[in-house]
Chains A and B, each alone.
Chain A
């Protein structure tokens, strides 16, 4: 049974470039979450979707960040333009309502 799948696992890019992170949730899960983890701020919820609809994006740091969920099996988190302070590990998680979240192994993003 495949868990949450994120790609790429690692991304190194230069400041100003567009970055796209991808997530495939567990089949049948109707909630999808994007988190960012840094040493300074810990684990922060950026945005979450229910049935492909964004419910709360109050954690998205600024307009450079955007997230989409075109269908139940795919979501993207995009940063454009990227900045060095965006360097972090980005996690995607999925769940059923009221149930524990299942996390992917994350994308380690480094912006030079």
Chain B
């Protein structure tokens, strides 16, 4: 069963707009990670946020984590056509196992 559930399932925006997607999970975690998957390729790690952190930035990415609500959000600012991909959240348990959500499919049109 999937630990993380992303919302929305799909998102269509124009270049320059911001894209926000959310992830909810069920059990306690060590950290939460976001990955991107381009069509026909493997997943690429974007950012990791630890359970004792509330917010993290990396370039145009901003991730928040609310452990009381068991939720996280990924914000991509000033989106580009190259950001078109599926985005997955993944939670890590104490054994280091990742459990992935179903993903959010993002389409950025020029």
Residues of A within 8 A of B (CB): 4, 31, 33, 42-43, 45, 48, 55-56, 91, 93, 97-98, 100-106
Contacts of A45 in B (CB 8 A): 97-99
Contacts of B43 in A (CB 8 A): 43, 91, 93, 101, 103
Contacts of B41 in A (CB 8 A): 105-106
Residues of B within 8 A of A (CB): 2, 33, 40-45, 48, 88, 95-103
Q: Is the CB of B101 within 8 A of A103?
A: no
A100 to B58, CA, bound (A): 15
Main secondary structure of the interface of A (DSSP, over half): strand
Closest chain A CB from B79 CB (angstroms) = 23
A103 to B99, CA, bound (A): 14
Q: Is the CB of A48 within 8 A of B42?
A: no
Q: Is the CB of A48 within 8 A of B103?
A: no
Given contact pairs A31-B96, A106-B41, a sample of 10 additional A-B residue pairs in the complex whose CB atoms are under 8 Å apart: A4-B42, A45-B97, A45-B98, A45-B99, A48-B97, A91-B43, A100-B45, A105-B40, A105-B41, A105-B42
Contact of A42 (CB < 8 Å), options: B40, B45, B97, B101: B101
Contacts of B88 in A (CB 8 A): 43
Given known pairs A4-B42, A91-B43, A106-B42, the reply for A101 and B103 (CB within 8 Å) is no
Q: Is the CB of A91 within 8 A of B45?
A: no
A86 to B100, CA, bound (A): 20
Q: Is the CB of A103 within 8 A of B96?
A: no
A104 to B97, CA, bound (A): 18
A105 to B42, CA, bound (A): 4
A104 to B100, CA, bound (A): 16
Closest chain A CB from B88 CB (angstroms) = 7
Subset of 30 A-B contacts with CB under 8 Å? A4-B42, A33-B98, A42-B100, A42-B101, A42-B102, A42-B103, A43-B43, A43-B88, A43-B100, A43-B103, A45-B98, A45-B99, A48-B97, A55-B95, A91-B42, A91-B43, A97-B96, A98-B96, A100-B33, A100-B48, A101-B43, A101-B45, A101-B98, A102-B45, A103-B42, A103-B43, A103-B44, A105-B41, A106-B41, A106-B42
